[in-house]
Structure 1
Amino acid sequence: MKTIFVDGYNVINSWPNLKQKKDFSFEDARQTLIDTLHNYGVFKACRIIVVFDAHKVTGSLEKKEEVNKHISVIFTKDGETADNYIEKKVNTLGRKHEIVVVTSDNLEQQTIFQRGAVRMSSLEFYNEVVKVEKSIKIKADKNRNIHKNSIGDNIDDEIAKILEEIRRSQ
């Protein structure tokens, strides 16, 4: 299974919809990103690890939340950036597994590339996610149309005619 590491705040500051949202609430922007990546991970059958910096939060300990098998959320510990965390993990996993790192940090992109991971800019990933969201919507719309379940689908024509007469007589 492909693993995608996402530099959370880098993405929030790059994606147009999240950039606007963070001006009002960082928590909303984070949650929107997590929800969007969850849908993406399920649809693409990949594992996503979203890493948020907590390096400026004095005394912060690393926090990891396993949302489900497709997505984990990491808040780094005090003094550790998302880049540092991702580099360590990629260094461990990079040449053994298929790894993609999403960040627009140029230095970070070069470092992870040297360690065996594929790099993708935040905006490239945004375009990929938008494409997947459209695919999900199309698939959901098709399923909705296929699985329409009205009463007319489940009764014979004679009973439908009688019910229609009763409806019109009232």
Structure 2
Amino acid sequence: MKTIFIDGYNVINSWPDLKYMKEGSFGGARQSLIDILQNYSSYKGYKIILVFDAHLVKGAIEHKEKYGNLLVVFTKYGETADSYIEKNVNKIGRKIEVMVVTSDSLEQQLIFQRGATRKSSLEFYHDINSVNSRIRDRINPELAVKRNLLEDNIENDEIREKLDIMRKST
């Protein structure tokens, strides 16, 4: 079974949907990411370890929550998500198939040296969207043919062009 380590706050700050959500509530963005990853892990059959920093929260102890194949870890005070991931990838990276999702370039180099593959947060975002499309198409094949795209409902050409430029830049 493939194991994926994910730097939670790195993903939240990289994914457009979650980045804007966190402005209202980090808790809401975290829960949304957890829900998304539960679906993904169930569909793909991967073990996912989602790691959130608590290194700046005085007195924080390591806390874990399990949701099927998804393990959510809040690090202890003084421990970053990067250090937690490095330590655990070092233990298993050359024994089983491991991938790390982060856009931190230094972290990507370190985990690669420890036997894991890496994927940027935005690359993973596109993977998630692709899987979500396949899930929707499988659930209701009629919807796969009859798409209701936002761009089809925007009458103002200038707004449609700006949205298209934004979509292409991510």
Counting only pairs closer than 5 Å after superposition, residues 69-80 of structure 1 correspond to structure 2 as 70-80=69-79
Counting only pairs closer than 5 Å after superposition, residues 1-170 of structure 1 correspond to structure 2 as 1-68=1-68, 70-142=69-141
The Cα shift of 1:67 comes to: 1.4
Paired with 1:116 and 1:103, the residues of 2 have a C-alpha distance of 15
One-letter code aligned to 1:118: T
One-letter code aligned to 2:33: L
Paired with 1:45 and 1:65, the residues of 2 have a C-alpha distance of 18
The Cα shift of 1:113 comes to: 0.2
Paired with 1:140 and 1:119, the residues of 2 have a C-alpha distance of 31
The Cα shift of 1:100 comes to: 0.5
Paired with 1:40 and 1:67, the residues of 2 have a C-alpha distance of 12
The Cα shift of 1:143 comes to: 9.5
Q: Which runs of 4+ in 1 moved over 4 A?
A: none
Paired with 1:58 and 1:143, the residues of 2 have a C-alpha distance of 52
Paired with 1:116 and 1:143, the residues of 2 have a C-alpha distance of 43
Paired with 2:19 and 2:80, the residues of 1 have a C-alpha distance of 20
TM-score, reference length from structure 1: 0.82
Unaligned 5+ segments in structure 2 are 144-170
One-letter code aligned to 2:129: V
SS of 2:118's partner is strand
SS of 2:14's partner is coil
One-letter code aligned to 1:81: T
Name the residue aligned to 1:154. Answer: none
Report how many residues are paired: 143
Paired with 1:48 and 1:141, the residues of 2 have a C-alpha distance of 27
SS of 2:61's partner is coil
One-letter code aligned to 2:131: V
The Cα shift of 1:140 comes to: 0.6
The Cα shift of 1:142 comes to: 3.3
